[in-house]
Amino acid sequence: MAGNLVELTVANWDEEVVKSDIPVIVDFWAAWCGPCHAIAPIFEELSNEYAGQAKFGKLDVDSHGEIAGRYGIHSIPTLLLLKDGELADRVIGAVPKPMIEDALKKLL
């Protein structure tokens, strides 16, 4: 993963997300998803702008569908925002950067 992005898996989910001492924003995506690729540069940009304030992770739903199912992910891209291991907000679809940033700022 580039920049400040963490590749999330079933194996590291609890350590990287649930036990994180800073808020986490997770991008649920898949390689075949066009809109996922559309927001990827925005997500990476935000990961650099908010480095140290929030953790940014990407989870491939094809490889780790168990976690997507646990959080009721029915369409991608979906961004989950978690604080203290608890779901705080979600952003669904390829939305503009200000919408993602607004949700993130509420978490910080």
Catalytic residue set: 33, 36
- Residue of 59, 39, 2, 47 lying closest to 23 (CA atoms): 47
Residues, the chain, total? 108
Token pair belonging to 78: 């979906």
Are the C-beta atoms of 90 and 78 separated by less than 8 Å?
A: yes
